[in-house]
Structure 1
Amino acid sequence: MLAILFLKKRIPQILLALLLVQCSTIKKDNARLQQLIPVNALHEDVDFTHRKLQKLHPNLDYYISKEKLDYQFDSLKKCLTKPLTPLEFYKKISPLVAAVRQGHSYVLAPQKAYTKKETKSITKKGIGPFSQFDFSYYNDKLYVLKNKSYIKSIIPGTEVLLVNGIKPQELINEYSHYFSSDGFNTTFKKAAASKRFVSYFTIENGIKDSLHYVFKYNDSIKSITIKRFKQDSLDAKNKKQVERKVVLDKAKQQILKKKKRINGFDKTSNTFIRELHFVSKDSSVALLKIRGFKEGHYRKFYKNSFAELQKRKTKTLIIDLRNNGGGRLSEIVHLYSYLADSSFVFLKKTEVVSKASLFEGVYFNKGNAVVKTIKTLFSPIVYSYLLLTVHKDKDGKNYFDTDTKPRSINKNAFKGKMYVLINGGSFSASSILSTNLKGSKRATFVGEETGGDYNGTVAGFMPIVKLPHSKLHLRIGTMNFTPFYQSPVHGRGIFPDVSILPTLEDQIQNNDPELNWILNQP
């Protein structure tokens, strides 16, 4: 009791101490961004990266031969003859990790960090000069898709030629070498290029309060400076109306809160992660939009959704997996039980480098000193579990048994016609789900080739390892997931049965040609 009272009295001091430590750490990390790393230290970081990939990443030679990858690491060391900053070194080491061609494994770019106080100060200033636009990267050019800025004369469809003197195409092309899709497709990088451009620019230049744009619309070229601005706050009268409405709609607020909890909710885009809509008056056609397999109570959502489909006697189900970057394996296996037309095996055996790769690379990788101490206490139990679940097969490789046994379909499994919408942003778990739907001929696919490989991906537990000298962070996939169905085409995604790509005008007008094609089918 006395200890608790003592701690309560010391809480302000403890919080202040933690804040000072955080500020000190951020200040130290930011100072390191400008420091040169000696050549011998760079060489050690290259060797460290190579060893970690070999130790933790299964099937490392699936897309590139061991000899070729070893040669690239040796060649890089020979080329590193002068000290480099962390960002300069990132641009040297990240293409080697990208050469493995597994999209879940990559080096994180170093960039300036901000304290909570600094972040709050920036936010208080208003909307940044990038956030005032939605962009689209179309035919290797960056366009304004939506203008949310205070300068209303900028028309959607306007090309962005320069931002602070930087050509978007050049920065996008440069950084495309620093990460990879799964395999050899090109759709994955294009799908995220417009959003990634903002990240690339910020990595190079930091957060800006104003940006000088050079725009082109038809044959007219204009130079415009976009500054950070604050939206007009509601006047007192409107505030009272809003407050009154919140009180009046308290019941609706509770319903909304519950829906967010079950469907999952993305605060950044202000959208539900999972949504079910009926797109025909008679409920014969339904659209299931899934933006990711993360957050939310997915079991309850799918249970309610497929019961509703059955209740309404829906005949056609459209599953929209466009720009779905993946998430939980358990969710896609559960969802597939509602989509398959017979009992199924979802995955083949999952390859891992060793029992130690999961134990060392994952179990002890994350957490502070307290968390790691607790993990140490439980480590005998965890390692015993790995001993039972990871085994060496006849081929000499180690496998982790997960979702390899036959499963029955759900009693409310959908039995009607099915379409799946895909594009380059369909990656990871959404690609594994698509593979099984495609391989079983359960659905017709519409859109463009997925960003994920038809034949699987290396993901699962993904530790982030810090390089000893540059302090760069390396993310590594540790489990090679292989869908039950396989394709003879090496290193490519799931191809659509009907290939449709929205034009720039489609994007501006919010027209959906892929969905429209499906809705026009008899």
Structure 2
Amino acid sequence: MNKQSFTIILSLFTLTGFLSGCESPQQQRPVAFQAFEHTRLPGYSSQQLEKDFNLLVSSLKEGHTGLYAYTSQAQFDSLINARRQLLRDGLNGLAFYNIVAPLVAATREDHCDIHLSEEVKKYMVSDGLFLPLVVINLQEKTYILNDSADGTPLKGFELLAVNDLDIKAIKERLFASFGADGYILTSKYRYLDFRGLAHEYAKVIDQQKENTIIVLNPVTQKKETHKLHAISASALATLHSAVLKTNTIRQETDRPAQLQLMPHNTALLSFRTFANSQYRKYQMDFRQFVDSSFRMIAANNVSHLIIDMRDNGGGSEGNEDFLFSHLTDQPYTKYRYVQAADTNFSFLPYTDYAAEADQRELRLELTEENEWATDGKLYRKSGLYAPAAPRRDAFKGTVYVLIGGWTYSGGAEFATLMREHTSAVFIGEEGGGGYSGNTSGTILELTLPATGLKIDIPIIRFFLDTKKDRFGRGLIPEYAIQPAFTEFIKGYDAELEFAKKLISAPSSH
């Protein structure tokens, strides 16, 4: 069974959930969903909402193997009680979404996602009102990437407030409604990049025809206030495209992976994904690509290898350790354990496994691959999906790994293996995936029958064999590097250029 591919694509209609790392569930402020109560979306009866609420809660408790990895059962139950009290007759799908999203978020697992219903998606496309802003978050500040529709200069200005809510409070509200593994914040900032802030603001905070923003002028260093008209979802997409076309912003490579030979006996090996399906789209085979790349690296006497994992959101299980096997000649243990929640689930009729044939296949797979231990837990059988063996001809030069908030799932697992078992140097920002693993694998998509909200419930917990982790955090690089806004807008690759400087330094030769 392959770990499900997780390609992180910023979408108007998807939301990962997670409680803010700065607040406990008891400290969470109620979501201000009243702003969405007077839309033309139809309402639901209190009985319908209660049933959907209860199904969501019971399914998470039954199926999510890592439910209490970061949030205790007492905290989770307290949050359930607090959110349940917000239910009332007549709430629409968007209001209900804002009530239950923190429940999904409390898992602190980025593979556990919540999605708007088809009804609400259509509403957001046809009637949604969005801030006309495309942004980038650098050094925890938010910078605007576009001017206003009337030509008023805003590009490069720091966003300080929207509609009397300062940007710190906005981020706190949004961070409490979508998530990352554990207490990681870098992936949250990356999720708010470009259209992300406008999307999440419209889903979680408010939709107004007229908006007031306060910005900091980078030239005068003075605050300015501007009025902005809201725009539609399609207009926001057009604005985003225009920003990318008119600037030289660094973008991820189209191909899933590529090798570049560079001066100073250096090679750059970039992996956008570990998903086999993505390689097949380009008539590529992941393992053949990795093997041929290291043959070329050896043939060209490369002594400095830069591995770019900044856009790698994981993919097919085993590809991360296959790549790692070319970088170590020492034996290692990948997982301390792999755990499943159960072999059968009562909520399957409400999932994408509703067909009896699919349920039988799932039960058979889980039964064949796992066994009950004396502690009452269900673990993967020994010897299954054994990691790739280390190679005698493994690369012996210096390795520099570029990571960031999108380094996630299998991408983060590869980074952990490199930190645990090699002397690789890491450059960038804290990785977006948990250092010690995640809950992913087989994911059951639950559809709530009344409201139509969809929730992805991961049922396999992968716990890496680590000794250097910090609980609830991602991999922390030796060199914390981010571009300044003026560098970012010109496409200057600060992380890559920093790696080149380290390589060209006399001590690296």
TM-score, length of structure 2 as denominator length: 0.73
Which AA in structure 2 matches 1:431?
A
Structure 1 segment 448-459 matched on structure 2, within 5 A: 448-459=429-440
The count of corresponding residues between Structure 1 and Structure 2 is: 436
Q: Residue by residue, what CA displacement relative to the aligned partner does 1:368-417 show, whole Å, maximum 9, x if unpaired? A: xxxx76xx457656644432211112221101247663642356632211
SS at match of 2:446: strand
- Give the aligned partner of residue 183 of structure 1: 182
1:65-120 deviation per Cα after TM superposition (whole angstroms, max 9, x unaligned): 112212221232234344321111111111122112111113223464459xx99x
The question of whether the paired residues in 1 share the 8 Å contact of 2:310 and 2:407 is answered with yes
Partner of 1:499: 480
CA contact (8 A) 2:108 2:183 kept: yes
Please tell me whether residue 482 in structure 1 is matched to residue 463 in structure 2.
Answer: yes
> Take 2:108 and 2:47, find their aligned partners in 1: how far apart are those partners?
28
Amino acid in structure 2 at the alignment position of 1:333:
D
Q: SS state of the match for residue 348, structure 1?
A: strand
Letter paired with 1:449? E
What is the SS of the residue equivalent to 1:178?
coil
- The CA deviation at 1:139 is 5.0
Deviations 1:248-279 (A, max 9, x none): xxxxxxxxxxxxxxxxxxxx977323122123
AA aligned opposite 1:137 = N
Distance in 2 (CA, whole Å) between partners of 1:363 and 1:67 is 28
The one-letter code sitting in structure 2 at the alignment partner of 1:157 is G
Distance in 1, Cα, partners of 2:488 & 2:228: 25
The aligned residue for residue 375 of structure 2 is 395
Deviates more, 1:481-490 or 1:158-167: 158-167
Letter in 1 for 2:323: L
Residue type of the alignment partner of 1:75? A
Q: Write the distance in 2 (CA, Å) between the matches of 1:32 and 1:223.
A: 26
Q: Which residue of 2 aligns with 1:57?
A: 64
Q: 1:432 to 1:94 in 2, by over 3 A?
A: same
SS, match of residue 260 in structure 2: strand
1:72 aligns with 2:79: yes
Which residue of structure 1 lines up, in the alignment, with residue 304 of structure 2? 316
- 1:414-441 Cα offsets, whole Å, 9 max, x none, are 2211111112222211111111111113
Shift of 1:465: 0.7
Percent identity, aligned pairs only, is: 23
- CA shift for structure 1 position 454: 1.0
User: How far apart, in 2, do the equivalents of 1:67 and 1:491 lie?
Assistant: 19
Deviation, 1:312, is 0.7
Alignment partner of 1:339 is 2:327: yes
Select the structure with the greater relative contact order (CA < 8 A; seq sep ≥ 6): 2
Residue of structure 2 in register with 1:251 after alignment:
none
Q: Give structure 2 stretches of 5+ with no counterpart.
A: 1-37, 240-250, 503-507
Contact 2:41 2:120 in 1 (8 A): no
Contact kept? 2:130, 2:207, Cα under 8 Å: no
Q: Specify the code of the residue in structure 2 equivalent to 1:334.
A: F
Letter in 2 for 1:277: Q
Structure 2 CA distance, aligned partners of 1:67 and 1:220? 45
Would the aligned equivalents of 1:142 and 1:169 in 2 still touch at CA under 8 Å?
A: no
Equivalent residue, structure 1, for 2:397: 416
Task: Give the structure 1 partner of residue 92 of structure 2.
Answer: 85
CA–CA distance in structure 2, aligned partners of residues 487 and 330 of structure 1: 22
Aligned ranges 1:91-490 → 2 under 5 Å:
91-110=98-117, 112-114=120-122, 135-138=135-138, 140-145=140-145, 147=146, 154=153, 156-160=155-159, 171-195=170-194, 196-201=196-201, 203=203, 217=217, 218=220, 219=222, 221=224, 223=226, 271-280=254-263, 284-294=265-275, 295-296=278-279, 297=284, 298-357=286-345, 365-366=351-352, 376-377=356-357, 383-401=363-381, 405=386, 407-410=388-391, 413-487=394-468, 489-490=470-471
Aligned equivalents of 1:291, 1:320: Cα separation in 2 = 8
C-alpha separation in 2, matches of 1:397 and 1:181: 26
Structure-2 separation of matches of 1:187 and 1:389: 34
Moved more, 81-90 or 473-482: 81-90
Query: Is the Cα–Cα contact under 8 Å of residues 421 and 446 in structure 1 kept in the other structure?
Result: yes
* Rounded Cα–Cα distance in structure 1 between residues aligned with 2:154 and 2:459: 46
Matched with 1:20 is none
Provide closer, same or farther for how the CA distance between residues 48 and 157 of structure 1 changes in structure 2, counting only shifts above 3 A.
Answer: same
**Unaligned 5+ runs, structure 1:** 1-30, 123-127, 232-267
Q: In structure 2, how many angstroms separate the alpha carbons of the residues matched to 1:518 and 1:362? A: 48
- Three-state SS of the structure 2 residue aligned to 1:480 is strand
Q: Report the TM-score, using the length of structure 1 for normalisation.
A: 0.72
**Aligned mates of 1:447, 1:65 — CA distance in 2:** 32
1:223, CA displacement in angstroms?
Answer: 4.7
Supply the distance in 1 between the matched residues of 2:368 and 2:208 (Cα, whole angstroms): 53
Partners of 1:362 and 1:461 in 2: CA distance: 13
AA matched with 1:271: D
